[in-house]
């Protein structure tokens, strides 16, 4: 398996290889156009114009740093239906799905059924989601999508869950890693017979209209004999919610990835003890239910990133192997923590200032990877 450092070195020494390397395999006719096409400025435009500037390229290498080892094991068992992926409790193989966040993909479907959602930049200032589903813990989703293409850092997060990795094509580096990583089961909608587990929504324009659901994902696992996995290392540690009389009356946090005029914000609900998600000041809703997305825990990681020199689609490289600073929000409280992922195959863990692994509230977790914690502002809370 190709190591992270070799990938980074190869990018720096031979940029021409990245742009000349073959992209996703040709899609079946019913899945055209290719999911690897770069968006145009016109396609990115929304009711307010999206900025078109790209991050400044840099030649500094991305070098993983030393990372702490996991410590304690879980002692608190979340109640059924909480969407909490407690370590060692996953009854079936985990599934990760790459989801579109282009303006033409709003609103998305199925993230309200996920135990964990990752959000990170793709290109042109647009982010992408990776939803983590735990069959037997997550409720079945009748619609998940729109599904989009892979990037290598999403593959690395999926490796840490031993998951089925669901996507539609990808960048050259993302495809190479998805096809070679032994920890995951690769499910590409644009590869071979993979298209039969997806459909196009006629009410939306391609490529922002590709969908799947829990039944199709389980059928893929059965057809590929991909059900076996070792669940012991996967998941997080949890605790009971803070008592209601000890929760702050309010808390709001806002962060942005590249452009300050394109923020994400969360509002704390002390009665439910969770966080409501907003995009550009508007409630982020699920397309099928019409309900605003709520997550029990929110984590903001600081992740080093660089523009890939010579990449004509504006792709970026992000260092998600190693360790770094983060902020964690639970119970209306902000905490300084450290994230750690020692290798591509290792799970992501979070640690407090004492080096102890953090405890989440029993429920879903949203994880955002931004280039600087200076892009995060917080009001209220404790």
pLDDT tens figures, 191-202: 988 999 999 999
* Closest C-alpha among 120, 110, 125 to residue 154: 120
pLDDT tens figures, 187-242: 999 998 899 999 999 999 999 999 999 999 999 999 999 998 887 789 999 999 99
Higher pLDDT, 21 or 89: 89
CA dist 187 → 63, 95, 150, 184 (Å): 29, 10, 11, 9
pLDDT tens figures, 291-313: 999 999 999 999 999 988 888 88
Q: What H or E segment, with its residue span, contains residue 42?
A: helix 41-44
Q: What structural domains and CATH numbers belong to the chain?
A: 1-11+65-382 (3.50.90.10)
CA dist 76 → 72, 73, 307, 364 (Å): 12, 9, 42, 15
The pTM (predicted TM-score) of the whole model is 0.84
pLDDT at residue 165, rounded to an integer: 98
- Find the angle CA(244)-CA(246)-CA(248) to the nearest 5 degrees: 90
Are 254 and 377 contacting, i.e. CB atoms less than 8 angstroms apart? yes
DSSP designation for 371: S
125-141 burial code (b ≥16 CB/10 A, e <16): bbbbbbbbbbbebbeeb
For residues 376 and 244, give the distance between their C-alpha atoms in angstroms, rounded to a whole number: 26
* Closest C-alpha among 189, 31, 217, 209 to residue 106: 209
């Amino acid at each position: 398996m190709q190591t992270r450092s070799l990938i980074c070195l190869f990018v720096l020494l031979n940029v021409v290889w990245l742009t000349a390397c073959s992209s996703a395999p040709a899609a079946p006719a019913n899945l055209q156009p290719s999911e690897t096409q770069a968006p145009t400025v016109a396609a990115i435009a929304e009711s307010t114009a999206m900025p078109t500037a790209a991050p400044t390229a840099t030649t500094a290498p991305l070098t993983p740093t030393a990372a702490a080892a996991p410590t304690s094991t879980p002692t608190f068992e979340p109640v059924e239906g909480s969407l909490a992926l407690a370590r060692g409790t996953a009854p079936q193989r985990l599934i990760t799905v790459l989801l579109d966040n282009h303006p033409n993909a709003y609103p998305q479907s199925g993230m309200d059924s996920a135990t964990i959602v990752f959000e990170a930049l793709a290109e042109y200032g647009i982010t992408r989601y990776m939803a983590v589903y735990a069959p037997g813990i997550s409720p079945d989703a009748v619609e998940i999508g729109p599904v989009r293409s892979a990037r290598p850092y999403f593959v690395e997060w999926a490796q840490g869950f031993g998951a089925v990795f669901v996507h539609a094509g990808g960048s050259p580096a993302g495809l190479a890693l998805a096809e070679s990583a032994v920890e995951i089961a690769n499910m590409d909608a644009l590869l071979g017979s993979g298209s039969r587990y997806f459909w196009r929504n006629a009410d939306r324009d391609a490529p922002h209209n590709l969908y799947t659901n829990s039944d199709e994902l389980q059928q893929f696992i059965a057809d590929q004999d991909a059900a076996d996995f070792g669940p012991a290392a996967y998941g997080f540690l949890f605790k009971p919610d803070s008592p209601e009389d000890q929760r702050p009356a309010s808390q709001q946090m806002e962060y942005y990835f590249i452009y300050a005029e394109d923020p994400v914000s969360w509002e704390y609900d002390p009665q439910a003890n969770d966080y409501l998600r907003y995009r550009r000041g508007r409630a982020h809703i699920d397309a099928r239910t019409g309900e605003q997305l709520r997550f029990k825990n929110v984590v903001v990681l600081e992740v080093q990133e660089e523009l890939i020199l010579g990449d004509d689609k504006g792709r970026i490289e992000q260092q998600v192997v190693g360790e770094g600073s983060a902020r964690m929000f639970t119970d209306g409280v902000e905490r300084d923590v450290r994230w750690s992922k020692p290798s591509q195959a290792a799970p992501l863990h979070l640690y407090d200032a004492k080096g102890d692994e953090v405890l989440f509230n029993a429920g879903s977790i949203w994880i955002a990877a931004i280039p600087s914690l200076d892009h995060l502002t917080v009001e209220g809370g404790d």
